[in-house]
């Protein structure tokens, strides 16, 4: 009886991930200083770093490392991973593992961030408890056996915090040199930009499993939502993505703007990306009633990308 009540208490009060909670609070506290430190050059730094770190997550962590939706050279792959580190969303192994778990259990038991457990859980709170399956390498490593074999990615995972710290120092120095605005560049380039990108990324977990339209009858509740797609450089076409997880292209209608796919296409045009997966003709709704459409993707040589 005693152990049962202990188990019930443990379920109600999960062990917290204090590293995540304190880090998130630290970032939010820095945002408070934003109005006091505003200057136009800091805003420009914020926007540029939002785009770079955002692409690191969408093109690097997500479409390349998680889904292998295109191939590129090792150098470009590592550069994209370093850009991903700038987002302060953890190292590549853990990020990829958590996202692969999401695809395996989307909106079902085992999904790390389904809105079925509440919209705030899906958006933010899921990141706060300590979940051994998601937080401890010995548990999540089985989802990233491919990346675990790569010593560079292992090192990036282990020392992921050093890259944003180095960036903060660089921003301070450059800002001081520019116009004595080092603190402004740090506040806007690190704190404001990181907070904005956190919420944009988390909107994919919350909003695009709740609101918007569904083009495909996937087994989950994923949706397409234009304003999340704008904020996340194309990741808001999330129903398309769940239908075709291997596809490098998420915006599938002509007006579904997908900036990340645009950059992948650019890489292919300059011969830095190849074997870009796109859905091709089988994507027509009449032909995709309910199957997991990752199987349906076609692989086009780099020169043909965009001609589907
Ligand atoms: Zn999803
Ligand atoms: Zn995905």
Q: Give yes or no for residue 288 having a pLDDT over 80.
A: no
Q: How far is the centre of ligand 2, averaged over its atoms, from the C-alpha of 84 (Å)?
A: 15
- Residue 78: give the domain boundaries: 18-304
pLDDT score at 2: 43
Model confidence at 13, in pLDDT bands (50, 70, 90)?
low
Q: Pick from 5-14, 112-121, 142-151 the range whose average pLDDT is largest.
A: 142-151
- Distance (Å) from CA 218 to ligand 1 centroid: 11
How many angstroms separate the alpha carbon of residue 61 from the centre of ligand 2? 9
Does a structural domain hold residue 96?
A: yes
Q: Which pLDDT belongs to residue 11? A: 53
Q: Is residue 30 one of the residues assigned to a domain?
A: yes
Is the per-residue pLDDT at 9 higher than 60? no
pLDDT tens track for 273-283: 989 999 863 33
| Res 29 pLDDT > 90 | yes
For Cα atoms 142, 146, 152, give the angle at the middle one, nearest 5 degrees: 115
Q: How far is the CA of 242 from the centre of ligand 1 (A)?
A: 6
Report DSSP letters for 93-147, one per residue. HHHHHHHHHHHHSTTSTT-TT-GGG-HHHHHTGGGSB--HHHH-HHHHGGGGHHH
- What is residue 287's predicted lDDT score, i.e. its pLDDT? 35
Q: How far is the CA of 222 from the centre of ligand 1 (A)?
A: 6
pLDDT for res 14: 77
Q: What is the DSSP secondary structure assignment for residue 282, as one 8-state letter?
A: G
Average pLDDT over residues 67-79: 96
Ligand nearest to the CA of 202: 1
Q: Evaluate whether residue 2 is within a structural domain.
A: no
CA of 4 to the centre of ligand 1 (A): 34
Predicted local distance difference test score (pLDDT) of residue 294: 43
140 near 157, Cβ under 8 Å?
no
Count the domains in the chain: 1
**pLDDT of 176 above 70:** yes
Checking if the pLDDT of 47 tops 60, the result is: yes
Q: Tell me: the pLDDT tens digits for 184-206?
A: 999 999 999 999 999 999 999 99
Tell which wins on pLDDT, 86 or 303. 86
Q: Is residue 233 part of a domain?
A: yes
Q: Which two tokens stand for residue 291?
A: 């199957």
69-73, 178-182, 252-256, 283-287, range with the lowest pLDDT: 283-287
Q: Which residues lie near ion ligand 1 (Cβ < 5 Å)? A: 222
Output the CA 282–ligand 1 centroid distance in Å. Answer: 22
Q: What is the mean pLDDT of the chain?
A: 88
> Which ligand lies nearest to the CA atom of residue 113 in the structure?
1
Please indicate, yes or no, if residue 4 is contained in any of the structural domains.
Answer: no
**Distance in angstroms (rounded) separating the CA atoms of residues 136 and 143:** 12
| Contact (CB, 8 A) for 222 and 106 | yes
The residue-averaged pLDDT of 285-307 equals 37
Task: Tell me the CA–centroid distance for residue 22 and ligand 2, in Å.
Answer: 27
Percent of the chain beyond pLDDT 70? 86
């Amino acid at each position: 009886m005693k152990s049962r009540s202990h188990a019930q208490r443990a379920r109600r009060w999960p062990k917290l991930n204090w590293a995540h909670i304190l880090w998130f609070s630290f970032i939010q506290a820095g945002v408070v200083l934003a109005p006091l430190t505003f200057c136009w050059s800091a805003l420009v730094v914020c926007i540029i770093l939002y785009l770079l770190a955002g692409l690191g997550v969408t093109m690097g962590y997500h479409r390349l490392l998680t889904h292998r939706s295109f191939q590129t050279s090792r150098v470009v792959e590592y550069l994209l991973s370093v850009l991903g580190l700038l987002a302060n969303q953890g190292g590549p192994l853990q990020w990829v593992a958590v996202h692969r778990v999401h695809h395996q259990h989307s909106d079902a038991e085992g999904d790390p961030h389904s809105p079925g457990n509440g919209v705030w859980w899906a958006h933010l709170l899921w990141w706060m408890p300590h979940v051994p399956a998601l937080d401890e390498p010995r548990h999540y490593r089985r989802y990233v056996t491919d990346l675990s074999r790569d010593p560079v990615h292992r090192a990036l995972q282990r020392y992921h915090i050093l890259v944003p710290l180095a960036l903060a120092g660089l921003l301070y120095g450059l800002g001081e040199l520019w116009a004595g605005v080092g603190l402004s560049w740090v506040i806007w380039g690190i704190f404001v930009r990181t907070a904005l990108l956190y919420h944009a990324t988390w909107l994919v977990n919350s909003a695009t499993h709740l609101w918007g339209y569904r083009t495909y009858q996937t087994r989950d509740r994923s949706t397409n939502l234009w304003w999340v797609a704008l904020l996340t450089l194309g990741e808001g076409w999330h129903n398309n993505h769940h239908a075709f997880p291997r596809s490098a292209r998420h915006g599938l209608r002509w007006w579904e703007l997908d900036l990340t796919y645009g950059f992948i296409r650019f890489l292919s045009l300059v011969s830095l990306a190849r074997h870009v997966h796109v859905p091709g003709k089988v994507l027509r709704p009449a032909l995709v009633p309910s199957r997991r459409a990752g199987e349906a993707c076609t692989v086009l040589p780099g020169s043909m990308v965009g001609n589907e």
